[in-house]
């Protein structure tokens, strides 16, 4: 068996840093939230300056989408705000990682539109909670179970196993069951057929089965999973997003159920439904542009790359 030295080194570093990380979490739990957020601004700015590759990815994406309507300085300010938001959201989540009391939890998070989730859930066919990587998506994922809905979340397993165990612990503490993506499709089907909520995110370029749809005016390789699951189980698709308010706390917005396209042409339905889902995600991103993860290489995969891969795979 070939050893993956890179993964071994990564896990070793995480293991060595874990006591420091856990100590930081314990400190965050007792410090005033205002202090933590001030510290997160400092860290976010430093991260923006030091993370050259990540910063350049964010600036490249922002130029591609906003190059004709925003100046270079404005795009740089947007990118820095994105970095600060990601650090601030992460620190907030760590500070509240132990909170299971609903009164305290919802003093931080205002919920708007719960009736849309309630109506879909009561149909008994399951609900696909469509959530983007915007602001604190970790808070977004645990809010449905905190509201009282049985919930599972599908996520890619982290390369750092220690962090995976820690994040899973924080999710399960608030009632969310964790399902890793590898070999999980039948588990996802079962979850929906039991009438539960299923957290899914389709706003990243990943290795799962995907199609090209329009996102922010550009072709983006987008996972088909939500569309496929909905058509197979008749589960409702309800978009929802966590956003940061002007007072620095959060607002969790639940949108009305997305009506599905359902014809005799399965391939066309999968494409159309994925486009509809992506359109609502685009609406969220355009509404809160400095809260989405612009550093992700969302438009990395191109039709030419996919065609080349298929050609090589089919070659004798």
Structure tokens at 25: 């979490």
| 220 part of a folded domain | yes
pLDDT digits (tens, 9 = 90+) for 86-111: 999 999 999 998 899 999 999 999 99
Which residue, of 63, 95, 127, is where some domain finishes?
A: 95
Specify whether 135 is located in the same domain as 86: no
Query: What's the domain range around 265?
Result: 110-311
131/42 same-domain check = no
Check whether 5 has a pLDDT greater than 50: yes
Q: How far is CA 36 from CA 23, 24, 252, 276, 300, in A?
A: 14, 11, 21, 38, 34
Whether 102 maps to a domain, the answer reads no
- What is the pLDDT, as a whole number, of residue 184? 78
Tell me whether residue 302 is in a domain: yes
Same domain, 85 and 19: yes
State the total domains in the chain: 2
For the chain, what percent of residues have pLDDT higher than 70? 90
74/141 same-domain check? no
Binned at pLDDT 50, 70 and 90, residue 178 comes out as confident
Q: Which of residues 306 and 155 earns the better pLDDT score? A: 306
State the burial class of residue 247 (Cβ atoms within 10 Å of its Cβ: 0-12, 13-18, 19+): exposed
Please report which confidence band the pLDDT of residue 163 belongs to, taking 50, 70 and 90 as the band edges. low
Which of 24-28, 202-206, 235-239, 283-287 has the weakest average pLDDT?
A: 24-28
Mark whether 125 and 255 lie in a shared domain. yes
pLDDT score at 290: 97
In a domain, 100, yes or no: no
Greater model confidence, 76 or 208: 76
Domain annotation covers residue 181:
yes
**Does 78 reside within a domain?**
yes
Residue with the bigger pLDDT between 163 and 138: it is 138
Do residues 257 and 301 share a domain?
Answer: yes
Q: Report DSSP letters for the chain, one per residue.
A: ----HHHHHHHHHHHHHHHHHHHHHHHHHHS-HHHHHHHHHHHHHHHHHH-HHHHHHHHHHHHHHHTTTS-HHHHHHHHHHHHHHHHHHHHHHHHTTT---HHHHHHHEEEE-HHHHHHHHTTSS-EEEE--SBS-HHHHHHHHHHTT--EEEEEPPPSSHHHHHHHHHHHHHTTEEEEESTT-HHHHHHHHHTT-EEEE---S--SSSEEEEEETTEEEEEE-HHHHHHHHH--EEEEEEEEE-TTSSEEEEEPPPBPPP--S-HHHHHHHHHHHHHHHHHHHHHHSGGGB-TTS-TT---HHHHHHHHHHHH--
Boundary of a domain, candidates 35, 66, 95? 95
Structure confidence at residue 192 (pLDDT): 96
Q: Confirm whether 103 is domain-assigned.
A: no
137 and 13 in a common domain: no
Task: Please tell me whether residues 87 and 120 are part of one structural domain.
Answer: no
Residues 85 and 120 grouped into a single domain? no
Average pLDDT, integer, range 182-189? 80
On whether both 187 and 301 belong to a single domain, the answer is yes
The residue from 53, 71, 95 where one domain ends is 95
Tell whether 73 and 205 lie within a shared domain.
Answer: no
Rounded mean pLDDT, 56-79? 97
134 and 87, same domain (yes or no): no
pLDDT of 315 strictly over 90: no
pLDDT at 65 (0 to 100): 97
| Position 316 in a domain | no
């Amino acid at each position: 068996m070939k050893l993956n030295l890179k993964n071994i080194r990564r896990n070793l570093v995480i293991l060595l840093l874990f006591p420091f990380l856990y100590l930081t979490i314990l400190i965050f739990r007792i410090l005033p939230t205002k202090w933590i957020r001030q510290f997160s601004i400092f860290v976010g700015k430093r991260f923006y300056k030091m993370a050259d590759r990540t910063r350049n990815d964010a600036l490249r994406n922002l130029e591609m989408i906003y190059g004709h309507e925003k100046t270079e300085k404005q795009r740089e300010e947007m990118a820095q705000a994105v970095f600060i938001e990601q650090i601030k959201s992460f620190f907030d989540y760590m500070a509240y990682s132990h909170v299971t009391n609903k009164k305290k939890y919802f003093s931080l998070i205002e919920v708007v539109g719960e009736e849309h989730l309630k109506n879909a859930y009561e149909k008994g066919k399951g609900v696909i909670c469509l959530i983007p990587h915007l602001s604190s998506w970790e808070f977004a994922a645990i809010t449905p179970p905190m509201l009282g809905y049985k919930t599972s979340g599908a996520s890619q397993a982290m390369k750092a196993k220690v962090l995976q165990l820690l994040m899973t612990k924080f999710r399960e503490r608030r009632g969310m069951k964790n399902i890793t993506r590898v070999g999980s499709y039948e588990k996802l089907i079962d979850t929906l057929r039991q009438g539960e909520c299923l957290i899914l995110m389709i706003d990243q370029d990943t290795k799962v089965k995907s199609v090209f749809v329009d996102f922010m005016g550009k072709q983006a390789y987008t996972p088909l999973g939500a569309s496929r699951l909905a058509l197979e189980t008749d589960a409702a698709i309800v978009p929802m997003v966590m956003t940061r308010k002007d007072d620095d706390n959060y607002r969790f917005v639940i949108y009305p159920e997305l009506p599905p396209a359902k014809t005799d042409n399965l391939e066309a339905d999968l494409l159309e439904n994925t486009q509809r889902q992506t359109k609502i995600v685009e609406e969220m991103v355009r509404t809160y542009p400095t809260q989405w993860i612009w550093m992700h290489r969302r438009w990395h995969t191109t039709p030419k790359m996919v065609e080349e891969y298929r050609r090589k795979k089919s070659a004798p």
